[in-house]
């Protein structure tokens, strides 16, 4: 089968012929139909320090996908060929304390598809049945391919009550923009999103942000005044990993405000701890998605009108992957969807 492989410890990906995977007794075999490129794939493509430390080569990469089940192992009763599915990219151990308690997103010993086990940028993928999510009938395949990053957005956005609340999102990348759509769907009032790139902010506005702020040339203090929010934002979603953005969150939340932190900072970040303490702020780190409460919420929100499709800026056949990775690298793309249909 054809697959995008990190063949060597060097920049790039290679379109190769590799053996088709065989499903084990507890696995399903999926014919991949659409995949999407994630920031993690960009780290792997560009072969940065994190990728060099983390990715064994050769490795089939990719983890954002949708496909059709074509075969199931002998222990698998709940899935059958023909079903349209995506998969949770974190394969958990099932035996640690958190897994045993049903908190599988907090597994102590997980592995990642397309990171340290074969990934989804391939014609076929096998997954343990416990990692498979069946989509509701009729879902748009390009949207279904985004359930992994949409899951990050939903998991983060739904940490705290949103109905009637004012939300500050820092970072209008694909995940921040989708989070804006989720906040709108969930009934927030002001959904203010910041970035330093105007095109990204324009996309976030299309998805549902009510006010965009380029923090390179506009002040959040002024925006807060314009919106009549004397006491500050109720909920913050940090989705940039940028140290200044986290400080913006801490400066603009109301007393008792809550910040869910998904963005991964590349360095230690200094913050004004006295504000956290005197204003009784809550800071909560967020990882992955809940298995499978987040997936359930995503499916239902899509069924009830949540539209994240504007986040897809590029669609192309998988063989044009170099164009897709270039568009991600030069910042012109938000989400790139690769089509694997014959
Ligand atoms: P992205 O890099 O595409 O988007 C980040 C955005 O932040 C960019 O548009 C950038 O211009 C913007 N930004 C930079 N400086 C800023 C500033 N000072 N203020 C506001 N915005 C600023 O990333 P993404 O794919 O949308 O993911 C968002 C973040 O979530 C990333 O940090 C990513 O690593 C992280 N992430 C975490 C998890 C997890 O499980 N915790 C999972 C997926 C992604
Ligand atoms: Zn575990």
96-146, pLDDT tens digit by residue? Answer: 999 999 999 999 999 999 999 999 999 999 999 999 999 999 999 999 999
Q: For ligand 1, atom 27, which residue shows the shortest CA distance?
A: 175
Is 40 designated active site?
yes
Token pair for 105: 């997103």
Given a contact cutoff of 8 angstroms between Cβ atoms, the answer to whether 285 and 309 are in contact is no
**Homologous superfamily in CATH for domain 153-285:** NAD(P)-binding Rossmann-like Domain (3.40.50.720)
**What pLDDT sits at residue 116?**
93
**pLDDT reported for residue 342:** 86
Q: How far is CA 338 from the centre of its chain?
A: 16
CA distance 46 to 117: 19
- What is the atom index within ligand 1 of the atom nearest the CA of 287? 40
Q: What is the pTM of this model?
A: 0.97
Q: Is 142 in the pocket of ligand 1 (CB under 6 A)?
A: no
Please indicate whether residue 172, judged by its CB atom, sits closer than 6 Å to ligand 1.
Answer: yes
How far does residue 124's CA lie from ligand 1's centre (Å)? Answer: 30
With the most atoms of ligand 1 within 8 angstroms of its CB, the residue from 36, 37, 39 to mutate is: 39
Domain boundaries, the chain: 2-146+308-339, 153-285
Instruction: Supply the DSSP symbol for 133.
Output: E
Atom of ligand 1 at shortest distance to CA of 285? 41
Cβ–ligand 1 distance for 176 under 6 Å, the answer yes
| pLDDT score of 267 | 85
Outline where DSSP puts E strands in the chain: 2-6, 14-17, 27-36, 59-60, 64-72, 84-87, 90-91, 111-112, 124-128, 132-134, 167-170, 191-195, 211-214, 233-238, 253-261, 282-285, 312-317, 335-339
pLDDT of residue 152: 98
Q: For ligand 1, is residue 299 a contact (CB within 6 Å)?
A: no
pLDDT of residue 266: 84
Catalytic annotation on 185?
no
- In ligand 1, the atom with minimum distance to the C-alpha of 248 is 19
Architecture of domain 2-146+308-339: Alpha-Beta Complex (3.90)
Residue 16 CB coordination number (10 Å)? 14
Q: Is 104 annotated as a binding residue?
A: no
Indicate whether residue 216 lines ligand 1 (CB < 6 A): no
170 lines ligand 1 (CB under 6 A): yes
Q: Is 64 annotated as a binding residue?
A: yes
Ligand located closest to 153 CA = 1
Report residues of the chain scoring pLDDT below 50. none
């Amino acid at each position: 089968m054809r697959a995008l492989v990190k063949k060597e410890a060097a920049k790039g990906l290679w379109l190769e012929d590799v053996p088709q995977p065989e499903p084990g007794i507890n696995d399903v075999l999926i014919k991949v139909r659409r995949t999407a490129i994630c920031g993690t794939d960009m780290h792997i493509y560009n072969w940065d320090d994190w990728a060099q430390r983390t990715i064994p080569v050769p490795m089939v990469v990719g983890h954002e996908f949708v496909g059709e089940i074509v075969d199931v192992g002998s222990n698998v009763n709940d899935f059958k060929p023909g079903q349209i599915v995506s998969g949770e990219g974190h394969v958990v151990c099932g035996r640690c304390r958190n897994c045993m308690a049903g908190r599988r997103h907090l597994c102590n010993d997980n592995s990642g598809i397309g990171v340290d086990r074969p990934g989804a940028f391939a014609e076929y993928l096998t997954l343990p049945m416990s990692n498979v999510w069946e989509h509701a009938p009729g879902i748009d395949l390009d949207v279904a391919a985004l359930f992994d990053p949409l899951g990050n957005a939903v998991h983060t956005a739904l940490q705290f009550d949103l109905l009637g609340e004012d939300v500050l999102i820092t970072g209008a990348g694909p995940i921040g923009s989708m989070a804006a759509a989720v906040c709108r769907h969930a009934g927030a009032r002001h959904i203010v999103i910041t970035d330093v790139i105007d095109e990204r902010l324009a996309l976030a506005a299309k998805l549902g942000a009510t006010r965009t702020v380029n923090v390179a040339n506009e002040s959040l203090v002024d925006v807060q005044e314009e919106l009549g929010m004397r006491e500050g934002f109720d909920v913050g979603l940090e989705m940039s990993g940028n140290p200044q953005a986290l400080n913006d969150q801490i400066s603009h939340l109301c007393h008792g405000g809550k910040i869910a932190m998904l963005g991964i900072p590349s360095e230690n970040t200094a913050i004004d701890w006295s504000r956290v303490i005197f204003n009784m702020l809550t800071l909560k780190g967020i990882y992955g998605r809940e298995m499978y409460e987040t997936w359930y919420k995503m499916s239902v929100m899509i069924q009830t009108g949540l539209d994240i499709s504007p986040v897809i800026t590029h669609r192309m056949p998988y063989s044009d992957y170099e164009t897709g990775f270039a568009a991600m690298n030069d910042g012109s793309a938000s989400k790139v969807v690769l089509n694997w249909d014959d």
